[in-house]
């Protein structure tokens, strides 16, 4: 390395100055580490499981089956005239990516405390690699959804479900979901480094958040006067928009989507800031 | 010549009395009563020194004198509360042995991951891979998950990766080193080798004999501050003179 990098490389160590003072330049330089962490997450997740990556396929299918039994058959919540299985699977696609990433990022400081106590690298690489490695599970889940969808279209060609032009917006929706999960997750990670209580709360908060998101019910089932409050949930517009893209039904308010994008940007920027603040002394309190 | 390390007024304050982490309730009740934070401890206070490139600096002092804290700050594991340090070149430490080793991954996968964690590029690890494996002596098990390794194999492979990291500055904290006598011997051999290769070395140890042998200059820390710094031949006897009449390590 000494001949690849000049020996004059200079590292200045001093207390943090200001809100966003962190070693950002080092992050892209360590992208190989990020990629290896992604690979590790993937290898370790399915180590010694008989079904391996099939779990990423089974999990949403089982959840959707439970939703069909409970929310469709028992509680009779409408599904915008769509086949309930497709309705739930489409919503779970983005929600699972969101909740999995958020929960992973939120414990990334605690989970890697032993490593962080031994060696320095920009800590933010761990949350970034988590969000990236969860993309693989997302893609598997997407494949499952598309297969089930194709099955439905063949079995019932008259079904109301039709993909729409919003499909083009899916990469944007995915980016928004990643930014939101990362933003909120980084906030919680930074705060749990100091206040361990939050760790216990996070799962509950995510569960609560799920029921405030149109996952088991359509936005059209929300009374009009509650809509403005409902739209404060940045995940609501993303889920409803993705459902509209895949299945052609759902209420998509451009205003709500713009608010989601704004929330994602603010949460991500501030999350990076508080995480940068926490990471520099996190090993002292973890 | 510019120093390899220049530290100016490095200080580190730890909060004690709340081991681990505080809880929301405590913080809230303190805030409501307008109380300051609980007791504070300065693990390091106003430490300044500089090391020339290629120099081996010994760092001695009793338990709690701030030796490990100093190394932690210089290797950027935690940040100082005040002061600054300028390092020229990469710093590696032999206490990072096995950082990020994952039991479910194979030896091969762990070498690549651990190398990246320590700051090697992918090309660098690929180039040194055979040498790393040969040095560790676990060739036959390189594609076996590390959780099936004996602790000795685990340690040898981990040390082998760390030993092949080419950094300009090496930090060795012997108080934290784990392993048997043979491993200890290897650490010292590696240090000797790097020293003659012109690397800058920080050597923290209670072993005054080795400090005297390896280090031309020694930094003596006491209760977080610099008690003295100078030629080892002067510092070690002075340290012993304080140590021995008390019949034990000062606290």
The pLDDT confidence band at residue A2, using thresholds 50, 70 and 90, is very low
B79 and A33 within 8 Å at the Cβ level: the answer is no
User: Domain range for residue B96?
Assistant: 5-246
Q: What is the dihedral of CA A4, A129, B114, A48, to 10 degrees?
A: -150
Percent of chain B predicted with pLDDT > 90: 36
Q: Is the pLDDT of residue B90 over 60?
A: yes
The lowest-confidence range among A262-266, B37-41, B119-123, B164-168 is: B37-41
Q: List, for residues B95-125, the tens digit of each pLDDT value.
A: 667 777 888 899 999 999 999 988 888 999 9
Tell me whether strands B5-15 and B40-51 are parallel, antiparallel or unpaired: antiparallel
Domain-located, residue B241 = yes
The lowest-confidence range among A79-88, A231-240, B167-176 is: B167-176
**What is the pLDDT, as a whole number, of residue A90?**
93
The pLDDT confidence band at residue B36, using thresholds 50, 70 and 90, is low
Q: Is the pLDDT of residue B251 over 50?
A: no
Read off the pLDDT of each residue in A138-167 and give the average, rounded to a whole number.
88
Spell out which residues of chain B touch residue A118, defining contact as CB-CB under 8 Å: 77, 95-96, 99
Spell out which residues of chain A touch residue B72, defining contact as CB-CB under 8 Å: 283
**Of the partner residues A4, A37, A197, the one whose CB lies closest to the CB of residue B23:** A197
Q: List, for residues A100-141, the tens digit of each pLDDT value.
A: 999 999 999 988 888 888 888 889 999 999 999 999 889 989
**What is the pLDDT, as a whole number, of residue B35?**
63
**What is the pLDDT, as a whole number, of residue A242?**
93
Spell out which residues of chain A touch residue B21, defining contact as CB-CB under 8 Å: 193-196, 285-286
Q: Is the pLDDT of residue A1 over 50?
A: no
**Of the partner residues A9, A16, A197, the one whose CB lies closest to the CB of residue B89:** A9
**What is the pLDDT, as a whole number, of residue A4?**
42
Domain-located, residue B152 = yes
A14 and B14 within 8 Å at the Cβ level: the answer is no
Domain-located, residue B175 = yes
Check which CATH number belongs to the domain holding B63 and give it.
3.40.50.300
Q: Does B89 touch chain A (CB under 8 A)?
A: yes
Domain-located, residue B67 = yes
B 154-183 → A contacts, CB under 8 A? 166-168
Domain-located, residue B251 = no
Q: Is the pLDDT of residue B17 over 80?
A: no
The pLDDT confidence band at residue A79, using thresholds 50, 70 and 90, is confident
Closest alpha carbon to A57 in A145, A187, A176: A145
Q: Is the pLDDT of residue B250 over 60?
A: no
Domain-located, residue B76 = yes
The lowest-confidence range among A257-271, B28-42, B136-150, B230-244 is: B28-42
Only one residue has tokens 């940068």, namely A276
Q: Does B19 touch chain A (CB under 8 A)?
A: no
For the ranges A188-192, A265-269, B99-103, B154-158, the maximum mean pLDDT occurs at A265-269
Spell out which residues of chain B touch residue A30, defining contact as CB-CB under 8 Å: 116, 119
Question: What is the secondary structure of chain B as a DSSP string?
Answer: ---SEEEEEEEEEEE-SS-S---HHHHHHHHHHT---S-EEEEEEEEEEEE-TT-EEEEE--TTSSHHHHHHHHTTSS--SEEEEEEES-EEETT-TTTT--TTSBHHHHHHHHHHHHT--HHHHHHHHHHHHHHHT-GGGTTSBGGGS-HHHHHHHHHHHHHT---SEEEEEGGG--S-HHHHHHHHHHHHHHHHTT-EEEEE-S-HHHHHHH-SEEEEEETTEEEEEEEHHHHHHHHHHHHHHHTS---
The lowest-confidence range among A14-28, B17-31, B109-123, B216-230 is: B17-31
Question: What is the secondary structure of A184-201 as a DSSP string?
Answer: HHHHHHHHHTT-THHHHH
Q: Is the pLDDT of residue A219 over 60?
A: yes
Three-class SS of residue A77? coil
B88 and A115 within 8 Å at the Cβ level: the answer is no
Contact partners, residue B29, CB within 8 Å, separation at least 6: none
B122 and A32 within 8 Å at the Cβ level: the answer is yes
Q: Is the pLDDT of residue B71 over 80?
A: yes
Q: How many CB pairs under 8 A join A and B?
A: 128
Only one residue has tokens 């610099």, namely B226
- Whether residue A113 contacts residue A286, with contact meaning beta carbons closer than 8 Å, is answered with yes
Count of domains for chain B: 1
A221 secondary structure, DSSP code? G
Domain-located, residue B73 = yes
For residue B103, give the chain A residue with the closest CA: A44
Higher pLDDT, A104 or A160: A104
Closest alpha carbon to A14 in B85, B70, B142, B213: B85
**What is the pLDDT, as a whole number, of residue A183?**
97
**What is the pLDDT, as a whole number, of residue B19?**
46
Region class of B183: left (phi > 0), else alpha (psi between -120 and 50), else beta: alpha
Read off the pLDDT of each residue in A238-261 and give the average, rounded to a whole number.
90
Spell out which residues of chain A touch residue B80, defining contact as CB-CB under 8 Å: 13-15
- What is the C-alpha separation between B201 and B178, in angstroms, rounded? 19
The lowest-confidence range among A13-17, A158-162, A211-215 is: A158-162
Q: Does B79 touch chain A (CB under 8 A)?
A: yes
Domain-located, residue B146 = yes
């Amino acid at each position: 390395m000494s001949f690849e990098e000049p020996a004059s490389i200079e590292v200045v160590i001093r207390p943090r100055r200001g809100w966003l003072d962190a070693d950002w330049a080092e992050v892209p330089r360590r992208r190989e580490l990020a990629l290896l962490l992604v690979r590790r997450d993937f290898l370790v997740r399915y180590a010694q499981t008989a079904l391996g990556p099939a779990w990423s396929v089974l999990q949403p299918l089982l959840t959707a089956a439970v939703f069909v039994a409970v929310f469709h058959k028992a509680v009779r919540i409408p599904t915008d005239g769509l086949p309930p299985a497709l309705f739930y699977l489409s919503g779970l696609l983005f929600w699972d990516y969101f909740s999995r990433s958020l929960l992973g990022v939120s414990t990334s400081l605690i989970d890697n405390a032993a490593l962080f106590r031994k060696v320095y690298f920009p800590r933010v690489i761990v949350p970034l690699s988590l969000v990236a490695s969860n993309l693989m599970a997302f893609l598997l889940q997407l494949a499952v959804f598309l297969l089930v969808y194709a099955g439905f279209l063949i079995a019932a060609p008259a079904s109301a479900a039709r993909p729409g032009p919003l499909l083009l917006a899916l990469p944007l929706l995915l980016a928004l979901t990643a930014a939101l999960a990362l933003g909120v997750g980084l906030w919680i990670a930074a705060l749990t480094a100091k206040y361990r209580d939050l760790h216990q709360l996070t799962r509950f908060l995510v569960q609560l958040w799920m029921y405030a998101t149109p996952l088991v019910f359509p936005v059209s089932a929300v009374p009009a006067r509650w809509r403005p409050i409902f739209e404060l949930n940045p995940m609501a517009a993303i889920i409803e928009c993705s459902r509209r893209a895949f299945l052609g039904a759902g209420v998509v308010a451009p205003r709500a989507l713009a608010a989601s994008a704004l929330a994602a940007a603010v949460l991500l920027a501030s999350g990076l800031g508080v995480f940068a603040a926490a990471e520099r002394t996190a090993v002292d309190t973890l | 010549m510019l120093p390899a390390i220049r530290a100016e007024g490095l200080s580190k304050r730890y909060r004690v009395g709340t081991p681990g982490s505080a809880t929301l309730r405590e913080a809230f009740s303190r805030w409501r009563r307008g109380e300051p934070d609980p007791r504070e401890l300065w693990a390091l206070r106003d430490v300044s020194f500089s090391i020339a490139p290629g120099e081996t600096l010994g760092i001695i002092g009793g338990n709690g004198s701030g030796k490990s804290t100093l190394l932690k700050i210089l290797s950027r594991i935690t940040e100082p509360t005040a002061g600054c340090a300028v390092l020229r070149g990469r710093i590696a430490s032999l206490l990072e042995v096995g950082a990020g080793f994952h039991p479910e991954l194979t030896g091969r996968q762990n070498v690549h991951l651990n190398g990246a964690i320590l700051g090697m590029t992918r090309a660098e690890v690929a180039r040194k891979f055979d040498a790393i494996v040969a040095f560790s002596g676990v060739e036959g098990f390189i594609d076996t998950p590390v959780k099936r390794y004996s602790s000795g194999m685990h340690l040898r492979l981990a040390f082998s990766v760390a030993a092949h990291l080419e950094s300009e500055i090496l930090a060795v904290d012997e108080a934290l080193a784990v392993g048997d006598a043979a491993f200890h011997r290897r650490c010292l051999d590696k240090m000797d080798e790097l020293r003659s290769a012109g690397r800058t070395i920080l050597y923290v140890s209670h072993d005054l004999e080795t400090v005297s042998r390896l280090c031309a200059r020694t930094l003596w820390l006491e209760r977080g501050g610099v008690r003295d710094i100078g030629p080892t031949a002067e510092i070690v006897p002075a340290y012993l003179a304080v140590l021995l009449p008390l019949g034990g390590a000062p606290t």
